[in-house]
A and B are shown apart, each in its own frame.
Chain A
Amino acid sequence: MNAFRYAQARDAASAMAALAADPRACYIAGGTNVVDLMKEGVERPSLLVDITQLPLRGIDRTATGVRVGALALMSDVADHPAIARDYPVVAQALLASASPQLRNMATIGGNLMQRTRCAYFRDVSQHCNKRAPGTGCAAISGVNRRHAVVGGSEQCICTHASDLAVALLSVDAIVHVRGRAGERTIPLERFHVLPGSTPQRETVLERGDLITAVELPASAAARNSYYLKVRDRASYEFALVSVAAALNVAGGRIRAARVALGGVAPTPWRAHAAEAALLGRPATGGTFAAAAEAATRGMKGYGQNDFKVVLVRRAVNRALQHVGAIA
């Protein structure tokens, strides 16, 4: 690990100023991602700004839903009664993430900012356009079983590793950010950006921006939601494919639908075509099968990950049957 300077921030303004002043400075909260990447030499900050003392830990009910502080721990959010009751998909995704130890360390804001688990990204001896722009993507013709089947580019086909972000996408979460121009809100769907020709850029955040909270609007669909994670072993593993499904069914018809996917794209992936195939239709097996087929539209593997396209169809179908209560 490279040597670095350390500062503990007492307020957001001084933390942001420290980042603005040093182009190689970096925030640290739970540290589960940045410390790991520093050991690999992928991250080499000159200064770590410890933000854990900032008052951003609360999980509070609001008039329109729940506001989760950026520094709330994954384990605390998963255990919060309002989350378990009104956003089961979020609690389930959190409990399917990492390990109990890591969930006691990692924060909600940090989870959204985590880097990909692509082995080429994590190995500084390999070509990777995200880590070292212009060096090429070793995954496209390499070991790509875990890589993207949609949303990638000739520059990068990594997958986003977060379960939480997929679940949050299915409940229309909104990210609260403090930046140089003050507070602003960003719908989670517009928070992460696809690699295109700039895979090193992963979110719309600007340097020094600080996530302060994630807002979860209450809805009937969010209350009837479910997270399905398919992986190589039963626990403590990243998703091959995951599905966050939220449905509001009234009078046998689907009034609202959200389908989001993990493990398939460089960002958490919203399956709009699947949602369109659900909205207004009867909540039947036939509708769910058609939506599952629609979810795979435009997906294409790179050889070793071709199976993911089939897995998406089956996992979406299963998740919809579960949340549509016909399983």
Chain B
Amino acid sequence: MDVGKVTRRRFLVRAALPTIAAGVGIGSPRLCALAQAAASVSVLPASGPGPIPVTLNVNGRAHELRIEPRVTLLDALRERLALTGTKKGCDQGTCGACTVLVDGRRVNACLTLAVMVQRKAITTIEGLADGDQLHPVQAAFLAHDGFQCGYCTPGQILSAVALLAEKRATDEASVREWMSGNICRCGAYPNIVAAVRSVAGQPS
């Protein structure tokens, strides 16, 4: 991406940030201290429900946030870190648009609480390219036209990166099965499968 220019997306993201920041952090702190636990057991220190310090390591960079325990990794990425490449589709673990890597393994960011993935390495679509050099899976999706509207594409690509690392993409059927956690409403599946297989070195 051209760093000097303000792209349309960057402008929109920058313009939206103050509004978003003002919108979070609601939820009044409640007095619900833990009742006295058994004398022999130390009481577990709890934090929240208001904003608490959370450190997220995203694409090799540590970000210190103050967010409520109920903020998902997906919302933290999109609304606090302005990393909007990770998409919110169903927001309930049934579509895969929010797929990111946590310590190298693909997970659904919409069902992950940000507070629970501190000290873990999080990789999003923004962390795949090396400068202007696309990740091979990104390049393959372009070459094979592995999308139509593009909304599911970041999740598809992250899932494919993990699948290739898992070495399970042995044939068309295995690619389809192991990519089944990523739904494409446009139905670009044949080209997605071709893109994944091309990176795995298989003919399509």
Chain A interface residues toward B at CB < 8 A: 1-9, 13-18, 20-22, 28, 31-32, 35-36, 38-40, 46-50, 52, 75, 98-102, 104-105, 234-236
Contact = CB atoms under 8 A, between A and B. Distances in A.
A16 B41 CA distance: 9
A271 to B, nearest CB: 28
B146 interface: no
Interface centre among B27, B36, B107, B162 (most CB of A within 10 A): B107
Interface stretch (B14-22, B47-55, B127-135): B47-55
B46 A35 contact: no
Contacts of B77: none
Interface string B169-204: 000000011101111000000000000000000000
Contact of B159 (A20, A47, A52, A101): A101
Contact of A14 (B42, B47, B68, B69): B42
Interface stretch (B57-65, B92-100, B137-145): B92-100
Given A22-B32, A47-B32, A101-B96, 17 more contacts: A3-B27, A3-B49, A7-B44, A9-B44, A16-B41, A17-B37, A18-B34, A18-B44, A20-B37, A21-B37, A28-B113, A35-B113, A46-B32, A50-B116, A100-B180, A104-B105, A104-B106
Interface of B: 27-28, 30, 32, 34-38, 41-50, 52, 68-70, 72, 91-94, 96, 99, 105-108, 111-113, 115-116, 159, 162-163, 166, 176-178, 180-183
Given A48-B69, A102-B181, A235-B177, A7 B46 contact: yes
A102 B47 contact: no
A105 B120 CA distance: 14
A38 B116 CA distance: 16
A99 B96 contact: yes
26 contacts: A2-B70, A3-B68, A6-B47, A6-B48, A7-B46, A8-B44, A14-B42, A14-B44, A17-B38, A18-B44, A21-B35, A21-B43, A35-B112, A47-B46, A48-B69, A49-B44, A50-B115, A99-B182, A100-B180, A101-B181, A102-B111, A102-B181, A104-B105, A234-B177, A234-B180, A235-B177
Nearest to B106: A101
B41 A13 contact: yes
Contact of A17 (B44, B112, B166): B44
Given A21-B37, A235-B177, A100 B162 contact: yes
B161 to A, nearest CB: 12
Contacts of A40: 92
Contacts of B34: 18, 21-22, 47
B37 A18 contact: yes
Contact of B36 (A5, A21, A39, A52): A21
B38 A31 contact: no
Nearest to A37: B92
Contacts of A15: 44
B92 A31 contact: no
Contacts of A48: 69, 113
Contacts of A99: 96, 108, 180-182
